[in-house]
Amino acid sequence: MDLRDIHTPVLLERCIELLAPALGGDSPVVVDATLGMGGHTEALLERFPALTVIGLDRDTDALRIASERLARFGDRLRPVHTVYDGIAGAIEECGFARVDGILFDLGVSSLQLDVADRGFAYAQDAPLDMRMDQSGGVTAAAVLATYGEGDLRRIFERYGEEKLAGRYARAIIQARGQEPIERSGQLVEILQKATPAALKNAGHPAKRVFQALRIEVNAELAALETALPAALDALAVGGRLVVMSYQSLEDRLVKRVLAQAVRSTAPAGLPVELPEHAPQFRLVVKGAEMASDDEKLRNPRATPVRLRAAERVKDAA
């Protein structure tokens, strides 16, 4: 199968436009912190002939596919098997002190969604795995088998913002007493039966629960909370960070980190801001940008995206 048939990079042109001003040097370096199947990286390598991309991914299948797909670029692509909170170590491992651009395309990759037996999609019956890195870690089935009712409710509320979290947690505890919950089809059936009739048409009952399980299994928010400050620290002056989020929990975290980065450190009431208190970063996108209606039609996975970006304007004092 041609990978271009199953993978259309989200906001590709906008990402390149935002990163381009930072890539004018003799040998610029970009970190694609979520390499996936390499769509964004491919376009960057094609358009900037002197560019090197450090491509991070925890998914060994994604790294293999991207490496094969982009083999024609030789060592201009440096694939690294790591979660994106390992960004600082990956940059050092590849022999660089600072980088000129960093791109985060968060959420689930096309590969993970489209391969049914990974268990990410509630619309397809498959084993409840949900691990982005299948070389280790706890599966979603193990979470459902071992977590208590209170813990299940907590993750459904926190990571899925699910109003029926308690109801769904109780239903899962009752159901697993009859048989192990090992497939997505089983879980969907349990959730559908536990959903009040009045709410049957208020969106698929499994959507937020599956999101919550995926985030728990992969510790996504904890990794992102560590990765964003590390990414900002790794940027050279003039370097740019671009982040695409697909759900509100991610976007709120990105917004908070960037707001802190562009804030002056001057004490309150100081009549003049001293240079050492000036922000190290500036926002290059006002608020969060969304995909155009045309792009949403061409690529439905762009529908929930929220893009934010910042540029380093000075080094730390």
| Known binding residues for S-adenosyl-L-methionine | 38-40, 57, 84, 105, 112
- DSSP letter at 289 equals B
Tally the C-alpha atoms within 13 A of residue 70's C-alpha that lie toward its C-beta: 28
In angstroms, the CA 293 to CA 295 distance is 5
> β-pairing, 281-283 with 77-81?
unpaired
How many other C-beta atoms are found inside a 10 Å radius of the C-beta of residue 119?
A: 27
Which residue type, as a one-letter code, is found at position 34? T
Tokens 């009712």 label which residue?
149
Please list the residues that pair with 306 across neighbouring strands: 245
User: Which tokens in the block code for residue 215?
Assistant: 């985030």
Q: How many residues does the chain have?
A: 317
Residue in 241, 269, 246, 273 with CA at minimum distance from that of residue 257: 241
Q: Which residues contact 107 (CB under 8 A, 6 or more apart)?
A: 245, 246, 247, 250
The beta strand positions in 71-205, using DSSP E, are 77-81, 99-105
Residue in 3, 212, 221, 7 with CA at minimum distance from that of residue 106: 221
Q: How far is CA 64 from the centre of its chain?
A: 19
> Known binding site: residues?
38-40, 57, 84, 105, 112
> β-pairing, 235-245 with 306-312?
antiparallel
Helix, strand, or coil (residue 182): coil
18 burial level (CB within 10 Å; 0-12, 13-18, 19+): buried
